[in-house]
């Protein structure tokens, strides 16, 4: 199962959806696509708005600036993850502490 955790200004994404075998998993592909599209959009506006680390097992995103564009894009990313979790509740879980 993929776990997305949001606490304050840090979002972590870890695990494997287990919907299908690696390389053919539409849930994992969706999470990756949503995440990297969001990160690339934010970085196009400001290179120092976020920092992120991808160690192939977990991605950690830190919202460093907290500006309107960054907050909106990260909020949109979380909303998309929530929609995905509603469709695939056995494969992705969202935890948020706000």
Domains: count for the chain? 1
The structure tokens 């949503």 sit at 34
Q: Is the pLDDT of residue 98 over 90?
A: no
Please answer whether residues 50 and 38 qualify as being in contact, where contact means their C-beta atoms are separated by less than 8 angstroms: no
What is the separation, in whole angstroms, between the first and last Cα of the chain? 22
Q: Can you give the pLDDT at residue 17?
A: 94
For residue 65, give the nearest of 42, 37, 98, 33 by alpha carbon. Answer: 42
- Give CA–CA dist 21/84, Å, rounded: 18
Torsions phi, psi for 75 (to 5 deg): -65, -40
Residue 61 belongs to a domain with what CATH number? Answer: 3.30.70.1490
Residues 10-16, mean pLDDT to the nearest whole number: 97
- Predicted TM-score (pTM) of this structure: 0.93
Torsions phi, psi for 61 (to 5 deg): -115, 130
Domain coverage including residue 65: 2-97
């Amino acid at each position: 199962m993929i776990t997305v955790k949001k606490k304050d200004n840090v979002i972590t994404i870890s695990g494997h959806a287990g919907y299908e075998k690696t390389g053919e998993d539409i849930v994992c592909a969706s999470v990756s696509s949503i995440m990297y599209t969001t990160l690339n959009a934010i970085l196009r506006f400001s290179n120092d708005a976020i920092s992120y680390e991808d160690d192939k097992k977990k991605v950690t995103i830190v919202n460093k600036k907290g500006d309107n564009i960054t907050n909106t894009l990260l909020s949109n990313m979380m909303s998309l993850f929530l929609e995905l979790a509603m469709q695939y509740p056995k494969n992705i879980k969202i935890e948020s502490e706000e």
